Structure 1
Amino acid sequence: MNDEAKEAQSVRVDRVLAHPPEKVWRALTQPHLMEAWLSHSDFSPVVGHGFQLHFDWGAVDGQVLEVEPCQRLSYTWTSGELDSVVTWTLTPTPTGTLLRMEQVGFPSDQSRYYVGASAGWPRFISALELVLESVDEGDVP
């Protein structure tokens, strides 16, 4: 295998949201809200916490790597042969939040994972936007 074939790929999605970082953070970290846009899980935003995300096609194992409330969240995303890292970055804007999701670690010889993530993350983030629209500030602890 040549060096180019060994290089890892990444998927990145940037979205401007009309909601404050605190509300976006809650939707990214509270299991009952995560279930509405991503998956059923036992997630907790605590460094070192291990969790699972459950999908129709199987489960993803994760471990929280980094937590900076309302700013940055990072965790492993392991499924089958894929061992990657998902990082969420929240940047306040005058009208809400610039949300960046980046998943890194797709070996070029595992294109099915890269293709799946490239198609899946924009859909998940669109679903996240719907959750943010449907949840009132007062409804989210």
Structure 2
Amino acid sequence: MTETLSSENGRTVLRMRRELRHPAEKVWRAITEPGQLAGWFPAAVELDLRLDGAVRFTFEHDPGAPVDEQSSGVIRAYEPPHLIEYTWGVEVLRWELQPTEDGCTLHLTATYDDRAGSASFAGGWSLCFDALRRVLGDSVPERDCRELHEHFVKVFGLDQVTLTDDGGLRFERQLVHPKEAVWELLTGAEAASVGSPPPAGFVAKGIDPGPVGEVEAPLRLTYGWSGGEVTWALRDGNGGARLVLTQTGPAADYLTAWHDLIETLAVAADL
């Protein structure tokens, strides 16, 4: 595996590497020329290829969207044909090419703030690299984005529930299906309504739940327990629902139970 995830200066850094059977000059054109980028990059890109040059990103479903800080960037390093670094909103993408006897090595360093989304980012870039190799002329089999996502969740340890400083817990997990589908799995055949017991899907083993105190399908459900409060929150994430689970009160004894419940949910959502 060539992917690594780290925290540097308060930000998340994803590093990926691919060995390519093509000279650096050929790969450089594929990562900088809009016509070739269109065959593999996740957005259409316009680059003013110079230091401090502007970069613009647009998507096929919204080509007329106004340029804002999330759809624009600037080139921060430019040394053709070996290095280009630019921003994409608050994200930084650094592409480096190192010549080898058989072609070149492509290094991607992505710096961003959304650590919980790292499995989606790594899986997405893996598929982009497959497409890049096809643009270069290689034959590359198709892969399943959901399988890649769950692979990187495990590799990067993004499936771990952690304790907060006050003894509660917080868990953030990117899922691969929309929040509406996840909510349906959580509720099952039971109704989720204020004053009623929460559907079983929302309750970890060992917790004696109180009645639902707040519910807004498919976004939020809160109920009490003997030591505090449990809150499930769902929103749109990168490629599916983003789940944030919190439990206040002394929660250390429930780490394993929550981990098992949420991983069962992730598997069920992928069926």
* TM-score, normalised by the number of residues in structure 2: 0.42
Of structures 1 and 2, the one with the larger relative CO (CA 8 A, separation 6+) is 1
2: CA distance, partners of 1:60 / 1:15: 26
> Do the aligned residues in 1 keep the contact of 2:44 with 2:60 (CA within 8 Å)?
no
User: If each structure's strand is expressed as a fraction of its own residues, which one has the higher value?
Assistant: 1
**Alpha-carbon offset, residue 29 of structure 1:** 0.6
Corresponding residue for residue 37 of structure 2: 34
Cα deviation digits, residues 45-100 of structure 1 (max 9, x gap): 2111212222357663221111111111100011xxxx121001100000000100
What is residue 10 of structure 1 aligned with on the other side? 13
The answer for unaligned runs of 5 or more in structure 1 is 135-141
Q: How big is each residue's C-alpha offset from its partner over 1:11-45, in whole Å with a ceiling of 9 and x where there is no partner?
A: 11100000000000000111111111113221232
AA in 2 matched with 1:118: A
Which residue pairs with 1:118 in the alignment? 122
Report the residue type matching 1:121 in the other structure.
W
Greater Rg, structure 1 or structure 2?
Answer: 2
Q: Which amino acid aligns with 1:70?
A: P
Structure 1 equivalent of residue 109 of structure 2 = 102
Higher fraction of helix: 1
Question: CA 1:11 to 1:55, structure 2 compared with 1: closer, same or farther past 3 Å?
Answer: farther
Task: Identify the match of residue 55 of structure 1 among 53, 59, 77.
Answer: 59
Give, in whole Å, the separation in 2 of the partners of 1:103 and 1:37: 17
Paired AA for residue 98 in structure 1: T
Which runs of structure 1 show a deviation greater than 6 angstroms over 4 or more consecutive aligned residues? none
What secondary structure is seen at the aligned counterpart in 1 of 2:37? helix
Whole-Å separation in 2 of the counterparts to 1:126 and 1:12: 16
Identity of aligned residues (%): 28
1:99 aligned partner, one-letter code: L
Counterpart among 77, 89, 97 of residue 66 in structure 1: 77
- Where in structure 2 are there 5+ consecutive unaligned residues? 1-6, 63-69, 139-271
| Deviation of 1:107 (Å) | 4.6
